[in-house]
Amino acid sequence: MPYRPLADEIRPQTLDEVVGQRHILGKDGLLRRIIDSGSIPNLIFYGPSGTGKTTVANIIAKRTNRPLHRLNATTASISDIKDIIGDIGTMLAPDGVLLYLDEIQYFNKKQQQSLLEFMENGKITLIASTTENPYFYVYNAVLSRASVFEFKPLESADVLPAVERGVRLMGARLGAEALCEDGVQQHIASACGGDVRKAMNAVELLLNSARREGDRLLVTLEDARMAAQRSAMRYDRAGDDHYDILSALQKSIRGSDPDAACHYLARLLEAGDLISACRRLMVIACEDVGLAYPQIIPIVKACVDAANLLGLPEARIPLGDAAVLMATAPKSNSAHIALDHAMADVRAGKTGDYPRHLQNRHADSAGQEREQGYRYPHDFPGHWVSQQYLPDALAGKRYYEYGDNKTEQAARRYWEEIKGREGGGT
């Protein structure tokens, strides 16, 4: 009998057997109602691996009377599409076909566009799946003809029944009773990162290598930890997970939550992405702590330099210092907001000539120098004197507002006292 992966053998055959995805497949879920209606539109399933996209596509295929064609975009070509299109309208497919296209993000624009005419007239019903955000990787013309449904990572409670069933099936396949130590199934269910396929692979590996005593297979928690190690990691340096983890790290530090900051930094470092971690921590130092604690920038820079010198795993030590320090530091985005406003004006053409007293003296021709009228601040008390610095078109414009932190408020009081001696000024 040919080998059949456990993940395939245990694949659900009905919607009621699909684990998780209650938001779209529950009793009142929109996708379930669409499938139950029997009128299947073009669909795009988006979500991580092992969350049921292919399973649901298979269930849909069984409910239609159309021939099912399967293509994987990583290996398919235009000729494969032409072969499918060639069957349409013939005795092989008089009413059209159902095309399941896995990993559609790997089809280029021309390949995707070759489907459009037949999607539009209903001769091809497309069910495409992708692990990447379809709004970035699927062309608009295809998106406009399809409904997108997001499949979410599964909770360990959703995966546990599948793990328990997988253990029973493997025991029956091997002709023995599987005896698991306490916590084995629960560990596999939680360590698979919401991916049923990963969980089944771990079960299959674990049972095939279990110690046999007569008609019993002994499965230990230590072996389960080895079989499922690091399998919970979901990370792709060029995909959504990369940007989601970086975003979560920055927002956690910005929100002054050191525990969440450590969690997301740990996920980056476990994935071995030291460069991204270092770069994002430097951004956070400048953008989110900023002038509330100006020394944070050289401090984080020193931590980043130390991390790059040490390499992983020791790099986690200075980066952990940086993450916790910034999460617990006062916050201010006043400086970068001020610059953003100034750049918006520059892009909008709000510039104007430099005030005469700010121009370089060499702007005048030799022998025709004009009086600039520049007042040298160091010649005045407090090293400040009132004069215009912005162009005439922007005179009086204010970009920077002092933050409400201790450092910036001290600077505000300092300059209010000095500038107040001359009655204010710009």
The partner residues of 129 in beta bridges, in order of sequence, read: 45, 102
The kind and range of the H/E element at 34 are helix 30-37
pLDDT value at position 241?
72
DSSP structure class, residue 67: P
Nearest to 277 by CA among 232, 308, 234: 308
pLDDT value at position 90?
72
Q: Measured between alpha carbons, how far is residue 160 from residues 188, 196, 205, 220 in Å?
A: 8, 9, 17, 17
Distance of CA 187 to the CA centre of its chain: 25
Distance of CA 330 to the CA centre of its chain: 27
Ordered by where they begin, the domains of the chain are 21-150 (3.40.50.300), 156-227 (1.10.8.60), 240-327 (1.20.272.10), 351-359+374-420 (1.10.3710.10)
pLDDT value at position 45?
94
Does position 250 have pLDDT exceeding 90, yes or no? yes
Helices first, then strands: H and E counts in the chain: 20, 8
Burial (0-12, 13-18, 19+ Cβ within 10 Å), 114: middle
Does position 257 have pLDDT exceeding 60, yes or no? yes
First vs last Cα of the chain: how many Å apart?
Answer: 87
pLDDT value at position 240?
64
Contacts (Cβ under 8 Å, ≥6 apart) of 326: 253, 261, 281, 284, 285, 288, 289, 296, 300
Give this prediction's pTM.
0.59
The encoded tokens of residue 60 equal 């849909």
Determine the Cα–Cα distance for residues 198 and 190; give it in Å rounded to an integer.
Answer: 11
Taking residues 317-325, report their average pLDDT.
Answer: 96
Q: What is the pLDDT of residues 352-376, one digit of tens each?
A: 888 888 877 655 555 555 667 888 8
The encoded tokens of residue 321 equal 């210092």
132 neighbors 240 (Cβ within 8 angstroms): yes
pLDDT value at position 363?
52
Determine the Cα–Cα distance for residues 297 and 24; give it in Å rounded to an integer.
Answer: 46
Q: What is the mean pLDDT of the chain?
A: 86
Percent of the chain with pLDDT over 90: 36
Does position 337 have pLDDT exceeding 90, yes or no? yes
Pairing of strands 68-72, 97-102: parallel
Taking residues 239-246, report their average pLDDT.
Answer: 78
Crossing angle for the helix pair 258-270 and 274-284, to the nearest 10 degrees: 150
183 three-class SS? coil
Taking residues 300-327, report their average pLDDT.
Answer: 94
The partner residues of 212 in beta bridges, in order of sequence, read: 217
6 neighbors 167 (Cβ within 8 angstroms): no
| 237 — pLDDT class (breaks 50, 70, 90) | low
